[in-house]
A and B are shown apart, each in its own frame.
Chain A
């Protein structure tokens, strides 16, 4: 089997699994679970084989014409280089873990067949984006991922938050995709083809006549999909979906697609200095903003969501300084430990019966109830906080190293100012990351007060997956940073001394400060009871989570934060806490900027349609009616009027004709 047929099978198998799942979901429930897991597993194995075969040397290229369009044809093309191979393995790996985890998570949910099919469809779409060599086929995968995320976020469509979050997720990403499509058109018109290889070739010969505009258009799409600064507001709300969905889509794969896309087309961005600076500033603002916001969230999943936005900020930062190796390296390691964090959070929510950290901090030794989740989450949080020797440290250091490399003058790929912004923002975010990681760990596992409720052991499938994911979180960084360069384009990913010392130091400071604040506020927790627990704790994890999400807003008055004086975050952020919790009121800005004008336009159109257009049509109808009444009233029945009308007509006609004949 040649590598191309294997490569074609990788996205195809999950797609066929999804189609089969959808068709016979209700008729043959027995087949649904294997149909969900096996194709994704097979895809993972094949992806691994392809990664090994490709081994970082010559990119695998193959194409057949998908359709003529009249000007630039669209080809069904494959372009697998080192990045594609490895990211595909990551996607396959996380997708398989999530599918297995979901079998336990949604054990007795009637809508599991459609859920599993949609996750499989999502996986095939992501793999299509990873492997595709044609920009339009990439866009197809890109948008199918968007719609799968819409359906999956809307899984608990009974809860109002899920209904609102699903439509918001799709519309914000679609808002980004509109300029993205225009950017693709511009690229294709300048390069003469949608093929990535041709586009990159055209860029090298300076074929793009205004790269900044194209880069900015593409950037809008990436910002939407990878939840970067201006268009990130949908990701925290998307936590209203089931946790495995968040783990797969909103941690490892879809949000990483934007970063992967820039990595694939980095020369296009490097062609314009302004674009790189914009990218850098965007990454910086995203990192710092999300770090602050994560510190103020009460919902455990929203903390992780903001943390994801921050880590994506790191990856875009690495791209801003022109080192796509570091970006993809951080993408791989982040994909592993963030997925683990989400899945563990799912277990904790199921065990604690609530997703609110304030409530968990009032439960004693919750960690005894879920020992697996406790240990794996601790590993993942350490990796997130970039504490050596965990994998997070190596990947984050490679990013900071690249930034420092550009900042100290090697500005052939990116301007120096981009390097400095990324370096400073990176260090500040390292501090904030350590802070909210420590806060989450303390509130979740170091709670005091009543005994944590015991709902028996968690399903085996969920705990096994946690340990499977803990391995790469622990070891991937250490082992891979020497091996990966020959998959990527050869730049050294080893952590440089200065940035590693600085980074680790800053992280330790963040952790210790948060621990101190927590020691101070923990005493207050005893006499300010707070927290609401789900109604059916004995149900499966999905039901518990749905109720937890639904009960958070009524119980705490706000879906994001909770009025908990014992929260160290409140102490650390001080006055900033209220704004940070609400995501710096960006939602209000968007409502004012986009939603309200469109609704005003809608009412204007309704008025226009009913009053203006209708009146013209009704007026056109009324004119003959009025003429008709006039004509019938002229028909008086009196002979004299008839004859006088006849003669008057004659006179008028004669005079007119004589005048016309003489005059004209």
Chain B
């Protein structure tokens, strides 16, 4: 991120690039606060390490608040001196919503991390932890705004590299380092493949700017045509990996189980947001003319992903260690399938932005509910670190509110009332698929909703069953309460007025 700041110094008078500081404020603030935390860590004694935590949370909150002034109109910066409308960074409605999702997700993960760090008391290095989290958040916030492949790849890497470190941050733990290695190697391979794809696309179009690619890729001549097509597919791989689409999902369960819980939550929400926003930028912005190429590919990927995700979650034994986190991992793979459906539908329907809107709406709902679920899992994990599903038996007796809210979150993810927002989010995805004429995909999704309900409801019934043995009293620390309460309020508010989230389905995003 520091390289970005260096470029801003004026090299020569006429080469001064007017930088719209307000537009790039959110990612920059996150990065700067990250640096401040890294430096402050040296001076802060062990006693006041918690201060770093609250500083990072404040930093994230500030960068989220900075989105508000950008709401009025589309602003873009780092544009070409030649023609001003080809820019690297645009803060349009799509960017703002994804940045809000990313920063909100990071904020909630930070709240979970505060408790985890306090419980680990010196088991985890606070300074590095917060620095890595903030820098990953900054990278993730940068990605939706980037409008050229270079910034896109850099943002992707800035979001991913700190994540590898965060996954492996528990030094003594074998599982953590193993998970980190798996995540690292898979991700790096995917990025290499993606870069190869970008090089082919660059070869066939001669530019990296998405809008220019969109124009030039249409009139690619003869033998470059197959090169362009392979380039398109290979580029998609990197981002499909990040959203954990099927052939690239193997890392998800191992990583989430190995990683500390807040990081698993962070990856499941922000990691996926990075993935599908990258996919949207490439497919809808960069390559609308190749819709018949990436349309069916994404549709097949979506169908496979949701089926494998749900079916994988179906067979979890409730007695294995970390089975709760593993179930949430598989469920996040399944949910990624639902996220991909509208993108695939965008290829077929005439109004691509409407169907993209339903991905965004679904992602917002998914983020809130998933983080809520992770918060409650973190809460239970504090007294029963093995986090088996059987540990949730009779949670209602010991902690009624947490149990009720977890039930609400799970039913929202399943898409059944009382989770009304979950239901309507799924309805928008269904309607995007039906509108695009992808009947078979809608039917596959219908079957998946039923399979998903099985394990979500199995867990919910477990909560309300009579607890054997005396119910362990869960004392809920402050940050966890805030996190659970926040996600709960968001869920219930959205259930009351789904329009707040669903309005993205009928407004122009780009």
Binding site for B on A (CB under 8 A): 624-625, 627-629, 631-632, 634-635, 637, 639, 641-643, 645-650, 652-654, 656-658, 660-662, 664
Instruction: Report yes or no: B251 in contact with A628, Cβ–Cβ below 8 A.
Output: no
Binary per-residue interface labels of chain B (226-252) against chain A in the complex, 1 for a CB within 8 Å, 0 otherwise:
100110111001000100001110110
A653 to B239: give the CA distance in the assembly, Å.
Answer: 14
Report A626 CB to chain B, min CB distance, Å.
Answer: 9
Closest to B250 in A: A642
Report A217 CB to chain B, min CB distance, Å.
Answer: 47
Instruction: Report yes or no: A646 in contact with B311, Cβ–Cβ below 8 A.
Output: no
In the complex, chain B residues whose CB is within 8 Å of the CB of A664: 292
Q: Number of contacts between A and B (CB, 8 Å)? A: 95
A624 to B310: give the CA distance in the assembly, Å.
Answer: 9
Binary per-residue interface labels of chain B (172-184) against chain A in the complex, 1 for a CB within 8 Å, 0 otherwise:
0000000001100
A-B pairs, top 7 by smallest CB distance, nearest first, are: A649-B247, A628-B315, A642-B250, A628-B314, A627-B311, A631-B312, A628-B311
Binary per-residue interface labels of chain B (377-407) against chain A in the complex, 1 for a CB within 8 Å, 0 otherwise:
0000000000000000000000000000000
Given contacts A627-B311, A650-B193, 13 further A-B contacts (CB under 8 A): A624-B311, A627-B308, A639-B181, A642-B182, A642-B251, A645-B248, A646-B186, A646-B247, A646-B250, A657-B233, A658-B229, A661-B293, A662-B226
In the complex, chain B residues whose CB is within 8 Å of the CB of A647: 189, 193
In the complex, chain B residues whose CB is within 8 Å of the CB of A632: 312, 315
B253 at the interface (CB under 8 A from A): yes
B479 at the interface (CB under 8 A from A): no
CB<8 Å pairs between A and B, sample of 23: A624-B310, A624-B311, A624-B454, A625-B315, A628-B314, A629-B315, A631-B308, A639-B185, A641-B250, A642-B250, A642-B251, A643-B186, A645-B250, A646-B248, A647-B193, A652-B247, A657-B293, A657-B294, A657-B297, A658-B226, A658-B233, A660-B292, A664-B292
Instruction: Report yes or no: A625 in contact with B292, Cβ–Cβ below 8 A.
Output: no
Instruction: Report yes or no: B186 in contact with A639, Cβ–Cβ below 8 A.
Output: yes
A34 to B253: give the CA distance in the assembly, Å.
Answer: 84
A627 to B229: give the CA distance in the assembly, Å.
Answer: 32
B268 at the interface (CB under 8 A from A): no
B314's partner among A624, A641, A657, A662 (CB-CB below 8 A) is A624
Instruction: Report yes or no: A661 in contact with B248, Cβ–Cβ below 8 A.
Output: no
A657's partner among B229, B248, B315 (CB-CB below 8 A) is B229
Binary per-residue interface labels of chain B (259-301) against chain A in the complex, 1 for a CB within 8 Å, 0 otherwise:
0000000000000000000000000000000101110110001
Closest to A639 in B: B182
Most buried by B among A648, A654, A660: A654
A646 to B237: give the CA distance in the assembly, Å.
Answer: 9
Instruction: Report yes or no: A660 in contact with B247, Cβ–Cβ below 8 A.
Output: no
In the complex, chain A residues whose CB is within 8 Å of the CB of B290: 661
In the complex, chain B residues whose CB is within 8 Å of the CB of A652: 247
Instruction: Report yes or no: B247 in contact with A645, Cβ–Cβ below 8 A.
Output: yes
Report B222 CB to chain A, min CB distance, Å.
Answer: 12
Instruction: Report yes or no: B451 in contact with A624, Cβ–Cβ below 8 A.
Output: yes
A635's partner among B253, B292, B310 (CB-CB below 8 A) is B253
B307 at the interface (CB under 8 A from A): yes
In the complex, chain B residues whose CB is within 8 Å of the CB of A646: 186, 189-190, 193, 237, 241, 247-248, 250
A643 to B191: give the CA distance in the assembly, Å.
Answer: 12
Most buried by B among A629, A635, A643, A646: A646
Instruction: Report yes or no: A650 in contact with B314, Cβ–Cβ below 8 A.
Output: no
In the complex, chain A residues whose CB is within 8 Å of the CB of B182: 639, 642
Closest to B232 in A: A657
A664 to B291: give the CA distance in the assembly, Å.
Answer: 13
Binding site for A on B (CB under 8 A): 181-182, 185-186, 189-190, 193, 226, 229-230, 232-234, 237, 241, 246-248, 250-251, 253-254, 290, 292-294, 296-297, 301, 307-308, 310-315, 451, 454
Report A250 CB to chain B, min CB distance, Å.
Answer: 58
Most buried by A among B186, B230, B315: B315
Closest to A660 in B: B296
A654 to B200: give the CA distance in the assembly, Å.
Answer: 13
- Say yes or no: A660-B293 contact (C-beta < 8 A), given A624-B311, A627-B307, A654-B234: yes
Instruction: Report yes or no: B250 in contact with A635, Cβ–Cβ below 8 A.
Output: yes
A654 to B185: give the CA distance in the assembly, Å.
Answer: 22
Closest to A645 in B: B247
Instruction: Report yes or no: A628 in contact with B312, Cβ–Cβ below 8 A.
Output: yes
Instruction: Report yes or no: B230 in contact with A658, Cβ–Cβ below 8 A.
Output: yes
A639 to B177: give the CA distance in the assembly, Å.
Answer: 13
A658 to B312: give the CA distance in the assembly, Å.
Answer: 30
A649 to B193: give the CA distance in the assembly, Å.
Answer: 12
A360 to B296: give the CA distance in the assembly, Å.
Answer: 94
Report B352 CB to chain A, min CB distance, Å.
Answer: 19
A628 to B451: give the CA distance in the assembly, Å.
Answer: 11
In the complex, chain B residues whose CB is within 8 Å of the CB of A628: 311-315
Closest to A640 in B: B185
- Say yes or no: A653-B226 contact (C-beta < 8 A), given A643-B185, A647-B189: no
Report B473 CB to chain A, min CB distance, Å.
Answer: 35
A145 to B314: give the CA distance in the assembly, Å.
Answer: 59
Instruction: Report yes or no: A650 in contact with B233, Cβ–Cβ below 8 A.
Output: yes
In the complex, chain B residues whose CB is within 8 Å of the CB of A660: 292-293, 296
Report B320 CB to chain A, min CB distance, Å.
Answer: 11
In the complex, chain B residues whose CB is within 8 Å of the CB of A627: 307-308, 311
Report A152 CB to chain B, min CB distance, Å.
Answer: 52
Instruction: Report yes or no: B250 in contact with A654, Cβ–Cβ below 8 A.
Output: no
A629 to B312: give the CA distance in the assembly, Å.
Answer: 7
Instruction: Report yes or no: B189 in contact with A625, Cβ–Cβ below 8 A.
Output: no
Most buried by A among B253, B308, B311: B311
Instruction: Report yes or no: A643 in contact with B189, Cβ–Cβ below 8 A.
Output: yes
A635 to B315: give the CA distance in the assembly, Å.
Answer: 12
A660 to B301: give the CA distance in the assembly, Å.
Answer: 15
Report B308 CB to chain A, min CB distance, Å.
Answer: 5
Instruction: Report yes or no: B248 in contact with A649, Cβ–Cβ below 8 A.
Output: yes
Report B347 CB to chain A, min CB distance, Å.
Answer: 12
Most buried by B among A635, A637, A661: A661
In the complex, chain A residues whose CB is within 8 Å of the CB of B251: 642
Instruction: Report yes or no: A650 in contact with B234, Cβ–Cβ below 8 A.
Output: yes
In the complex, chain A residues whose CB is within 8 Å of the CB of B301: 653
In the complex, chain A residues whose CB is within 8 Å of the CB of B296: 657, 660
In the complex, chain A residues whose CB is within 8 Å of the CB of B186: 639, 642-643, 646
Closest to A662 in B: B226
Closest to B310 in A: A624
Closest to A654 in B: B233
Report A617 CB to chain B, min CB distance, Å.
Answer: 13
A629 to B241: give the CA distance in the assembly, Å.
Answer: 23
In the complex, chain A residues whose CB is within 8 Å of the CB of B293: 657, 660-661
A662 to B247: give the CA distance in the assembly, Å.
Answer: 24
A631's partner among B226, B237, B311 (CB-CB below 8 A) is B311
Instruction: Report yes or no: B312 in contact with A648, Cβ–Cβ below 8 A.
Output: no
A660 to B295: give the CA distance in the assembly, Å.
Answer: 11
A627 to B247: give the CA distance in the assembly, Å.
Answer: 15
Report A663 CB to chain B, min CB distance, Å.
Answer: 11
A646 to B308: give the CA distance in the assembly, Å.
Answer: 15
- Say yes or no: A649-B246 contact (C-beta < 8 A), given A624-B314, A631-B308, A657-B233: yes
A661's partner among B190, B229, B451 (CB-CB below 8 A) is B229
Closest to A658 in B: B229
Report B184 CB to chain A, min CB distance, Å.
Answer: 10
A653's partner among B297, B312, B451 (CB-CB below 8 A) is B297
Instruction: Report yes or no: B247 in contact with A648, Cβ–Cβ below 8 A.
Output: yes
- Say yes or no: A650-B315 contact (C-beta < 8 A), given A642-B186, A661-B229: no
A635 to B182: give the CA distance in the assembly, Å.
Answer: 12
Most buried by A among B232, B250, B292: B250
Report A85 CB to chain B, min CB distance, Å.
Answer: 65
A627 to B295: give the CA distance in the assembly, Å.
Answer: 26
Report B158 CB to chain A, min CB distance, Å.
Answer: 22
Report A590 CB to chain B, min CB distance, Å.
Answer: 48
A642 to B190: give the CA distance in the assembly, Å.
Answer: 11
A654 to B228: give the CA distance in the assembly, Å.
Answer: 11
A208 to B7: give the CA distance in the assembly, Å.
Answer: 99
Report A622 CB to chain B, min CB distance, Å.
Answer: 11
